[in-house]
């Protein structure tokens, strides 16, 4: 079942869509449906879900260094605590 809706498009976007429609004959509504479907599918894939395995690594990187959040570059680049970058 399809539901009819109305949208407003900026003129430049409408003109681009119209040119595409004229070049291959696909209805404008089909372009809009396909684009919206692709956008929503990608957005849903990008979300991190509560049961995502990424959450299992929380706390695995515990350290006695209390400045990791502010001095992470020094640790990542093996300069160690108190070192200065040249």
Helices and strands in the chain, H and E counts: 3, 0
Do the beta carbons of residue 63 and residue 69 sit within 8 Å? Answer: no
Average the pLDDT over 29-50 and give the result: 88
Per-residue pLDDT, 12: 96
* pLDDT band for position 45 (cuts 50, 70, 90): confident
Q: Is the pLDDT of residue 6 over 90?
A: yes
Domain boundaries, the chain: 11-58
pTM beyond cutoff 0.85 = no
Average the pLDDT over 58-81 and give the result: 72
Average the pLDDT over 2-20 and give the result: 93
Do the beta carbons of residue 68 and residue 79 sit within 8 Å? Answer: no
Residue 75 to residues 27, 28, 58, 64: CA-CA distances in angstroms? Answer: 56, 54, 19, 13
Average the pLDDT over 58-75 and give the result: 75
Per-residue pLDDT, 3: 92
């Amino acid at each position: 079942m399809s539901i009819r809706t109305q949208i407003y498009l900026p003129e430049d976007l409408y003109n681009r869509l119209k040119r595409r429609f004229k070049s291959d004959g696909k209805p404008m509504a089909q372009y809009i449906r396909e684009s919206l479907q692709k956008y929503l599918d990608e957005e849903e894939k990008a979300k991190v879900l509560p049961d995502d395995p990424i959450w299992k690594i929380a706390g695995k990187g515990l350290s006695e260094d209390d400045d990791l959040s502010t001095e992470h570059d020094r640790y990542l680049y093996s300069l160690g605590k108190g070192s200065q970058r040249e």
